[in-house]
Structure 1
Amino acid sequence: MRNNLYDKQAKLSIWLQSFYHIASIGSFSKAAKVLGQSRSTLTNHIAELESLYSVSLINRTTRSFALSQEGEALLVHCQKLNTILFDSHALLSSFSDNHEGLLRLQIPSVLDTKNFHQILSLYKQAYPQVVLDIVVSQELGDLVEDNIDVALILGDLEDTSYISRELLSIASHVVSSPSFWKNRQKPTHPNELKTLPCINYRHCRTGNQWSFSEQGKIFLVDIGPSHMCHSDEMLLSFALDGSGVTTLLDFTCREYITEGKLETCLEGWTYNIPLSALYQRRDKTPLRVKSFVDFLVLHMPAL
């Protein structure tokens, strides 16, 4: 039933467009050229419209063309309709052709840092007409259902229907404080972590195992008795106070390593973690989405 109604509405819209162009131009032949249709097609459209409502819209002979009283009245309404359609087209074009509008961004909690905030501030200065709505979440859901324009994701991606662009590759470190290592031997192989107290991220994809790399191949190792934390800030705090060993991304611990407040181990076994931007696959990606991802590609290496 709904499909039949839709078909009738679609046909009526086409017939009204044909009538508008014929009536405005004053010629079936000229209107046909403008619309890229045959004259006979437009003639049929008008005949269908007149038959549907049992009304004569155009008085025509082989030599004359004139709108009936009903045709004149309908033309006024069609002119309003055409204005609405034109304005709607302009509005839709502005969504994709302008750097403006709402952009919903999802980021993992590890990016909720001063350095990333500064990158977002630079973007807002460059594109003040774009309004950012930022969601902090660890889980990648349905971007369409969740109304997310761009999602930033850490780690290797499973097969996805979204468009993916890698923003940068981030070094990872196994760290703890100098006080922790003072009376302990630093491990020389990841398997030795099972003898050490570790601080694990609660949402770690590999559970109570950490991943390492040997000659380009990733493998998992069991870790020792561990505290569980929900945030990277807490992982960092526990590592700094010597509670145990943890893994951190470079930009979260770089300054503490430089200052000697944290010491690394197993540097030959860790590997870089990709950070990617995901966005919906569309016929025409809105310019605000494309420009935002391009901006991140340019500025994220400074993270």
Structure 2
Amino acid sequence: MIDLNDIAIFAKVAELESFSRAAHALGMPVSTVSRRVSTLEEQLGATLLQRTTRRLSLTAQGRAYFSQCSGPLSSLYDAESVLARAQKAPEGLLRVSAPVILGQDPFYAFVSSFMRAYPRIAVDLFVTNAFVDLIADNVDIAIRFGDMRDSTLVAQRLGKSLRYLACTPDYLVGRELPTDPEALREHACILLNGRNNEAEWELASGRTTVKVRVSGRLSAHDFQAVSAFTRRGHGIGLLPSTYCDAEIAGGDLVRLLPEWSSPEIFVHAVYPSRRFIPSKLQVFLEALKAWKSPLWIPLR
């Protein structure tokens, strides 16, 4: 099988009409250049170059062969140049998947700031709770909450999230304050992705974890809706701490069972491969890790 490098060496010799000039341009010894061209001629069964002590010229077969291979070689060099630029300069289209919980102004402000910092990068943003197959859907990076089940992907932790039990003071009027997780069964709970208006909440206190089946008249598919109905007094919500810390501190919400919360939920940046990370993805990863998101707690 003919070595493409031999063809490239021959093309350089034909272009410069000199073994020594081609050797200098390629950074090779003249003897190596001559030997590789001879090997190519032997494999082709044709004389490509006419060598004399005074000059070097292409044979008729050499001219025909050079004419046919110079175009494809030029295309290969162009492709290599494009890849090299993509690796060095942050540019090109970056496809990003993010869950609905991130579909708010702070995240959009982060993306806006990133695009201003890297004007040669275009962003195609998918804000969805649907599972996105990074390979099949040609997505460069996804931000995901929870355990990473796909071992073929690379996952970098960005932070962690905790969820608190919270409700309005008005909701508690005329109702008994829950004193343990089991008491939540007697309350109206606002559910995330609840089936048949029921859900199982996992709560942790130190090393103790419990699961309790709760129910309520309201179920939603994103935390914005769960938070909105919790604030309107429709029941108890299990809300990300970053959603409710300020309102708990201000008295607009009450944190119930303060010794209990959800287990730690880690936030990951997920991408397909650790090898040959393009610079557009590398700089986005670095920006994500530096971003002080209001939706997760930084890792220490």
- Return the offset for 1:141: 3.4
Matched, 1:300 2:295: no
Alignment partner, residue 19 of structure 2: 27
Larger % of helix: which?
Answer: 1
After superposition, where does 1:28-177 map in structure 2 within 5 Å? 30=23, 33=28, 40-49=35-44, 51=45, 56-60=47-51, 65-76=56-67, 78-158=69-149, 160-177=151-168
Amino acid at match of 2:165: V
1:272 aligns with 2:264: yes
Cα distance in 1, alignment partners of residues 206 and 286 from structure 2: 32
Q: Deviations over 1:169-221 (max 9, x none)?
A: 223211111111122222222121111111111179xx720111132354322
Cα distance change on mapping 1:42 and 1:247 into 2, 3 Å = same
In structure 2, list runs of 5 or more residues that go unmatched.
296-300
Query: Equivalents in 1 of 2:286, 2:270: separation in Å?
Result: 12
Deviates more, 1:73-82 or 1:260-269: 73-82
Amino acid at match of 1:286: P
Cα distance in structure 1, aligned partners of 2:218 and 2:294: 31
Overall identity of the aligned pairs, in %: 24
SS of the residue aligned with 2:291? helix
Superposed CA deviations along residues 132-157 of structure 1, whole A, max 9, x for unmatched, are: 11112224332111111110011232
Kindly provide the amino acid, as one letter, of the partner of residue 205 in structure 2. E
For these two proteins, the number of residue pairs brought into alignment is 288
1:284 aligned onto 2:279: no
- Whether the aligned pair in 1 keeps the contact of 2:6 and 2:36 (CA below 8 Å) is no
Partner residue in 2 for 1:240: 231
Query: Residues 227 and 286 of structure 1: is their aligned pair in 2 closer, same or farther, counting only changes over 3 Å?
Result: same
Partner residue, 2:298 = none
Task: Out of 128-137 and 32-41, give the one that drifted further.
Answer: 32-41
2: CA distance, partners of 1:35 / 1:156: 58
Deviates more, 1:278-287 or 1:133-142: 133-142
Aligned to 2:220: 229
Change (3 A) 1:34 1:201: farther
Which moves more between the two structures, 105-114 or 26-35? 26-35
Contact 2:106/2:293 (CA < 8 Å) preserved in 1?
no
Normalised to the residue count of structure 2, the TM-score between the two structures is: 0.83
Deviation at 1:103, TM superposition (A): 0.8
CA RMSD of aligned residues (A): 3.0
Change (3 A) 1:203 1:278: farther
**Alignment gaps of 5+ in structure 1:** 1-7
Aligned-pair CA distance for 1:224: 3.2
Q: Is the 8 A contact 1:152 1:278 kept in 2?
A: yes
- Tell me the CA shift for residue 295 of structure 1: 0.6
